[in-house]
Amino acid sequence: MSRAWLLLIACLCLPAPAAAQAVYRCVGPDGQSVFSDQPCQSQGAVEREAPRPPVASAEGFVSGTGTTGEGCARSLDALLLGVRGALEARDVNRLATYYHWAGTSAGAGRYLMDSLEAIAARPLVAAEFVYEEPLAEPARPRALRVEQAAGPRDAGAVRTDFLLRRHAGCWWIEL
């Protein structure tokens, strides 16, 4: 056999590159996210809804804008725009990029991701800064308040106040 044939056979025996391998995003029967190389149905799960594309809000904000890099908000306005965009897109991963994870253990990280996933799943009503009373000079917000509907068919309101933290030249949120 010629060297070219041997080389061709050797290349065909190599595993597929990681980019060609499928990753299935599923939701298990218990409601937990499952990521696997196996189809969702083979695990008794259903396919997870794909993130919605960026859209402009009623106020004209487009999701994912306003930062120097997703997650590092150099200003409070950039943080507000980034968090609002992530919530409008209902994208927990993008919301997590604005979270201050420094010093968080693996166990606490899993708990926080579950909390952020629940927040990202609810329809956004409003996101705005909350200031100290009375306003001090210069006025600096103490929290980022997110108002959401309890669910797509439930008009009840859910409020989350994210604490604000300045670290490494960026603004971050914390629960």
Model confidence pLDDT, tens digit, residues 40-72 = 888 888 887 665 555 554 444 454 443 334 668
Query: Can you give the pLDDT at residue 66?
Result: 39
Calpha distance 126→148 (Å, rounded): 7
Distance between first and last Cα of the chain: 66
Report which of 61, 70, 89, 60 is spatially closest to residue 172, judged by C-alpha positions: 70
3-class state of residue 162 by DSSP: strand
Q: What is the pLDDT of residues 83-109, one digit of tens each?
A: 999 999 999 999 999 999 999 998 899
Report which of 148, 149, 143 is spatially closest to residue 174, judged by C-alpha positions: 143
In the chain, % of residues over pLDDT 90: 45
Calpha distance 84→125 (Å, rounded): 10
DSSP letters of 9-29?
HHHHHSPPPGGGS--EEEE-T
Class of domain 76-174: alpha beta
Calpha distance 23→34 (Å, rounded): 10
Q: Is the pTM of this model over 0.75?
A: no
Residue 65 DSSP symbol: -
| Amino acid at site 114 | D
Report which of 109, 100, 105, 92 is spatially closest to residue 170, judged by C-alpha positions: 100
Per-domain residue ranges for the chain? Answer: 20-50, 76-174
Residues 73 and 79 sit within 8 Å (Cβ to Cβ): yes
